[in-house]
Structure 1
Amino acid sequence: MTELKLSDFDYDLPKEFIAKFPSVRRDESKLLVLHRDTGKTEHKIFKDIVDYFSGGDVFVVNKTKVIPARFFGRKETGGKIEVLILGYGDTKSVPAIVKPLKNLKIGARIFLHNDFCEVVSIEHNTVKLKFSDEIDTILKKYGKVPLPPYIKRDLIPSDAERYQTVFASVLGSVAAPTAGLHFTENVLSQLRSNGVKIADVLLDISWATFSPVRCENITEHQMGEEYFEIEKSSAGIINSAKRKIAVGTTSVRVLETVSDGKKVKPKKGVTNIFIYPGYKFKNVDALLTNFHLPQTTLLMLVCAFAGRDLIFRAYKEAKKNNYRFASYGDAMLIL
């Protein structure tokens, strides 16, 4: 591909392919295995993933935990308003999407029973809010699971558990690292029995991951910053790996951010790395990921790893075989 146009990452995805609910069991979602060297595909069930890995392989997982980032309040006029927190780093001034945004002005208050938040700035379609109490306290009182907007249904009680991975331990994300949603303790136990090690990293997923690409030349897109950490113990495990298997695009972005040649180094900070075709990977040998929506930075990363043509052929085959797409959908293992 000589030019990297946004339209090159578009494809037809009828809404019925977008999963509204997770599979009944985490590890019984479908798994499409794609071999980059031959272009061959295999159709499996997720728990079959254990058959592809052995001693010396290391799975790199994102241990972030989703915050209850969506809540509802009332405007001073009494009208209902929905708030989605977009980031969690600066607790004094929190970015958010507010619906409806029309007629909302700086200084306006959104009331939450005995608490409130105040609009301190408005830029494009996002606002910054200041809260009457600690953000943790507010979200604990009023927050709901922030399912993505393309999952068009009401929340059900099981979403609170199913929209977290079994690795989730550090609060900070407004969306789940969805490739990790397929794992169960049983699958992890079988992998470990095969000699596979699990190393965790942290990337707090914010709106930056999902912010739409608005420029036709995708190289002009700027990713927002997201907080990450990789501890010394995890770096040691990863650096001893025969193969490094990134679980999800967020794990990829951490590994490539902290790359020091073919090794990774312990580090914490923020990253805005944007990976698209032409990128040379340094520390990822295999990738487990879900099926991504058209024209997203997530799809661009996957195309960078396996090649656009191969990915688009695999997506076409996935649709033919009724795979389910997006956050609650099925998985793809790229070897």
Structure 2
Amino acid sequence: MNIAAKNINIQDYTYDLPDEKIARYPLAERDKSKLLVYQNGQISETQYAYIADQLPENTLLVFNNTKVVAARLLFQKITGTTVEIFCLEPAESYADITSAMMQRNAVTWKCLVGGAKKWKEGILQKELLHEGERIVFSADKKEKHNDYFLVEFRWSGGHSFAEILSIYGNIPLPPYLNRMVEEEDKQRYQTVYAAYEGSVAAPTAGLHFTHELLEQLNNKGIAQAYVTLHVGAGTFRPVKSATMENHDMHAEFFEVSKELIRRLANEEKKIVAVGTTSLRTIESLYWMGVKLLQGKGFTDLAQWECYELPQDIPVTEALQALLAYAHETGADKLIAKTRIIIAPSYKLRVAQGVVTNFHQPNSTLLLLVAAVVGDDWRKIYDHALRNNYRFLSYGDGSLLWQQ
């Protein structure tokens, strides 16, 4: 099967991003960021504070309630050299991120290691003092793989791994911010509705929403729902291959309640995903339903499956298949991994629009934007650059309706 998305040349999705356009810090008020609105080929401007005016009353906003974990750990060797361990995701032996986060006394994670050559062997150890309690925390490098190390962590005191990270770890800011973490980041590089720990990067479109803005949306009758997709470090991975066929899309865990699937299947609403991660999650649900209808079972979604599976299955039918599966298995929520790549030639099935920030050149996130708005992505980004929009994680954003 000839899949058009495989032949995309990433150099066709680049633009000049001056360093001064990158937002190094958030605005003082979350919802005062600019919001570019694209609909029917037209661009208008407003602020996130007034996003309710841009949404029909029959809109369902879908947010990602993942929580960024303090996944950056620093250990000092006896020699004085520092080894940085960046926790990516749990080892394959854990069913999901939540269960790995709740492990007590020991856990094994896939990690990046800065200064790996300095850590040839031996166990790194650190003593933590937390509320008068002495905790011994250690890291043991078990295996080396192509793009990660398998590291076993052990600690005393019976705390969960989530608690250990909150005590000892640092928030992993995106590398393009090119600065150290500051106290403000602990609160601002997190959505106000973050609930389930597991991400190493924030779902940044959601950073613009405040509790007051969510209440305002609710008062207008704009419904809100939540998925959980734990954002991996792969979201920052540049596309290095000449064509997308040779790019290995990163996999990410997601969890979705049966109740949300029912709402997506039954509500006659405009579905708007807040963030690319929310969009990838709800679109993945559709394809997993299609796989069930094709007798392929409930399995993780591979990179190109959404282009290889039948393209004419109604959304309601696919989501009803997921509900039937959940009912048969007695599951209140579905947990899986997705590697879906949304790129030009892809047509949104579940969502009609997306709220998203402005993304890096040559990135899979920019391909997603182009899938939603077509070639007008250049017009949108040119407008943002000319009108002093702030780019990337702490920057301004857009509401894009599918062309």
Give the TM-score category using the shorter length: over 0.9
Q: 1:99 aligns with which of 94, 110, 114?
A: 114
Is the partner of 2:116 in helix, strand or coil?
Answer: coil
Following TM superposition, by how much is the alpha carbon of 1:86 offset from its aligned partner in structure 2, in angstroms?
Answer: 1.3
Q: 1:144 aligns with which of 145, 160, 170?
A: 170
Following TM superposition, by how much is the alpha carbon of 1:52 offset from its aligned partner in structure 2, in angstroms?
Answer: 1.4
Following TM superposition, by how much is the alpha carbon of 1:153 offset from its aligned partner in structure 2, in angstroms?
Answer: 1.9
Bigger Cα displacement from structure 2, 264-273 vs 192-201: 264-273
> Which of the pair has more CA radius of gyration?
2
Q: Is the 8 A contact 1:54 1:194 kept in 2?
A: no
Following TM superposition, by how much is the alpha carbon of 1:77 offset from its aligned partner in structure 2, in angstroms?
Answer: 3.1
2:305 corresponds to: none
Cα distance in structure 2, aligned partners of 1:274 and 1:193? 35
1:29 counterpart = 2:33: yes
1:199 corresponds to: 225
Q: Is the 8 A contact 2:36 2:44 kept in 1?
A: yes
Following TM superposition, by how much is the alpha carbon of 1:183 offset from its aligned partner in structure 2, in angstroms?
Answer: 0.5
Same amino acid, percent of matched pairs: 37
Could you list the per-position Cα deviations for residues 29-68 of structure 1 after superposition, in whole angstroms to 9, with x for gaps in the alignment? 0111111x2x211121111211012332100000111111
Q: 2:85 aligns with which of 83, 98, 101?
A: 83
1:151-230 matched pairs, under 5 angstroms: 151-230=177-256
Is the partner of 1:208 in helix, strand or coil?
Answer: helix
2:389 corresponds to: 323
1:130 corresponds to: 152
Q: Is the 8 A contact 1:54 1:195 kept in 2?
A: no
Q: Structure 1: state its 5+ residue gaps.
A: none
Q: Structure 2: state its 5+ residue gaps.
A: 91-96, 102-106, 128-135, 290-313, 324-333
Q: Is the 8 A contact 1:58 1:241 kept in 2?
A: no
Following TM superposition, by how much is the alpha carbon of 1:214 offset from its aligned partner in structure 2, in angstroms?
Answer: 2.2
**Letter of the structure 1 residue corresponding to residue 315 of structure 2:** K
TM-score w.r.t. length of structure 1? 0.93
Q: Is the 8 A contact 2:86 2:111 kept in 1?
A: yes
Could you list the per-position Cα deviations for residues 190-229 of structure 1 after superposition, in whole angstroms to 9, with x for gaps in the alignment? 1111111001111111123333322111133222321111
1:56 counterpart = 2:58: yes
Change in CA separation of 1:135 and 1:76 when aligned onto 2, cut-off 3 Å: farther
1:262 corresponds to: 315
Q: Is the 8 A contact 2:83 2:119 kept in 1?
A: no
1:282-301 matched pairs, under 5 angstroms: 282-301=349-368
Change in CA separation of 1:13 and 1:196 when aligned onto 2, cut-off 3 Å: same
Bigger Cα displacement from structure 2, 94-103 vs 14-23: 94-103
Could you list the per-position Cα deviations for residues 89-139 of structure 1 after superposition, in whole angstroms to 9, with x for gaps in the alignment? 35632122221233433x443332332201112234532211123533431
TM-score w.r.t. length of structure 2? 0.78
Judging by fraction of residues, say which structure has more helix.
Answer: 2
Q: CA RMSD in A?
A: 1.9
Could you list the per-position Cα deviations for residues 271-309 of structure 1 after superposition, in whole angstroms to 9, with x for gaps in the alignment? 1111111112111101100000111111111111111x2
